Amino acid sequence: MDFSISKQEEAFRQELRTWLEENLPEGWLQGNRELPEDKADYAVFLRKWQNTLYEGGWGAISWPKEYGGREATLMEEIIFYQEMVRVQAPPLINYIGIHMVGPTLIQSGTDEQKEKFINKIITGEEVWCQGYSEPNAGSDLAAIQTSAEKKGDQWLINGQKVWTSFGHLADKCFLLARTSTHPEKKHRGITAFLLDMNQSGVETKPITQMDGQQEFNEVYLTDAVAYDADIVGELDKGWRVMIALMLHERTGIGAELFTLEKRFDDMVAAIKDYQINGRPVMDDPSVRQKLASFYARFRGSLLNYYRNLTSTLKNGHPGPESSIDKLAVSELTKEMAGFMMSLQGHRGMLWKEDAPIDPVWQDEYLFSFGQTIGGGTSEVQRNTIGERVLGLPKDMGR
């Protein structure tokens, strides 16, 4: 691909920068980036930011214009990600809706579903979560046991989901349920439903993580109700829809490479200022060698991401190559955070204001383990890359 920036693309960047200067929350550009600690206030703050993006025409720039997007070019999308990372913009509360559910409905939803849900996704009026993982079905998603049984004109859904991001904030859930049994092929007989979270049959319990945050949830379903109109794709053929959604998810995760680029710059800056026993850490040749290794791997991953985006544009949809982006982001994030923790030695156990350097590395280190699991484990990504990108034989263990 051509990496040069045209005058039109530079104008796009300036338009976005001007808009950000005028529309980011008050004090944000000056460094006041504290998000509300109260959960209700947090949700209100981020819903407002989602709507601000939409009203400015930045809610989902890669979507078709008829759905509120800009039909942004590849370079415009890259510029958008770069600028959002540059100003450390507030996170997207509707990340799953914007990057996964919306594109999947545009690709596979009925006209009624598009009319009913798409606009509320991009405006932030309805926040979405994803009901995939279960206590005994994570990497082996075909083992899901949550069932949907037809009673009259209703589907009654029973079971349990776990590790559901945004579940405690969500209005809707993109949910997989077993609608029939095909013992010869576990991935058959699964259907994708668009489930209303605000009903008596849905109970959400936040999970406290080792960093003290509550970003994941258990979701219990007891005769939760859905209808035929809430089915995405065909009955019993939700596996295909699930694959399409996860490819969109991994493409979105790949965009986090731009965040990783900034984290690398932050890491270099922190190491330049950090001393142990009066000696600058940067004087250690092994530290400089490690930084060079991180940089080479990060740049290689970024270039591969550009190549995958180019392929997506040509094919009209993401391919299995997006697993490479997901694997690179999650593993590099974990290694970089682990390296920063190791530099601090036993003082790396100190928290917040007691930490010897920016405590964000402690947070990132603890969270990084989950990144190699969520959205498909690193082992699953390696299998996908081996089988569907490199054409290797199937995993002997399956």
| Residues known to be catalytic | 249
Rounded alpha-carbon distances, angstroms, from residue 184 to 88, 143, 161, 335: 49, 12, 24, 40
Q: Under 8 Å CB-to-CB from 394, ≥6 apart: which residues? A: 387
Q: How many residues does the chain have?
A: 398
Buried b (16+ CB within 10 A) or exposed e, 307-330: ebbeebeeeeebbbbbbbbbbbbb
Handedness of CA 94, 96, 102, 103 (dihedral sign): positive
Burial of 40 (0-12, 13-18, 19+ CB in 10 A): exposed
DSSP 8-state secondary structure symbol assigned to residue 62: T
Residue 215: closest CA among 366, 99, 27, 318: 366
Segment holding 223, helix H or strand E: strand 216-226
